[in-house]
Amino acid sequence: AQSVTQPDIHITVSEGASLELRCNYSYGATPYLFWYVQSPGQGLQLLLKYFSGDTLVQGIKGFEAEFKRSQSSFNLRKPSVHWSDAAEYFCAVGLKTSYDKVIFGPGTSLSVIP
């Protein structure tokens, strides 16, 4: 069965420090891959997505992610975290069905220390 795991439930970093959020997926083929962010009291917003081609993708707010097929991973990175980045981050896979079927991971909660 398809699944998405995010090993870190909660991460705390200092403002200005680098960040890496981990994501692994299980799927029979290469899926579409996404990172979404959810601020408190809000819905989810797309940060970036990978379909094919260059395995390093750039997103909004200075985020990037790297797809590694051999590790079934799609880790999210940011070189310097800002206090406004504190939020819940969700990795997701889009299955190649006839419509958008997106499976989300459990999320990683990010806290930023000023």
Partner 1 sequence: ETGVTQTPRHLVMGMTNKKSLKCEQHLGHNAMYWYKQSAKKPLELMFVYSLEERVENNSVPSRFSPECPNSSHLFLHLHTLQPEDSALYLCASSQDGRPGGELFFGSGTQLSVL
**What's the burial of 95, exposed, middle or buried (CB within 10 Å: 0-12/13-18/19+)?**
middle
Strand, helix or coil for residue 2 = coil
3-to-17, 83, 86, 97 alpha-carbon distances in Å: 30, 31, 25, 15
Under the criterion CB under 8 A, does residue 10 sit at the interface with partner 1? no
**Beta carbon nearer to partner 1, 49 or 77:** 49
Give the x-and-dash track for 40-79 against partner 1 (CB under 8 A): -xxxxxx--x-x----------------------------
Considering only 90, 108, 110, 112, the residue that binds partner 1 (CB under 8 A) is 90
The contact set with partner 1 (CB under 8 A) reads 4, 32, 34, 36, 41-46, 49, 51, 90, 94-107
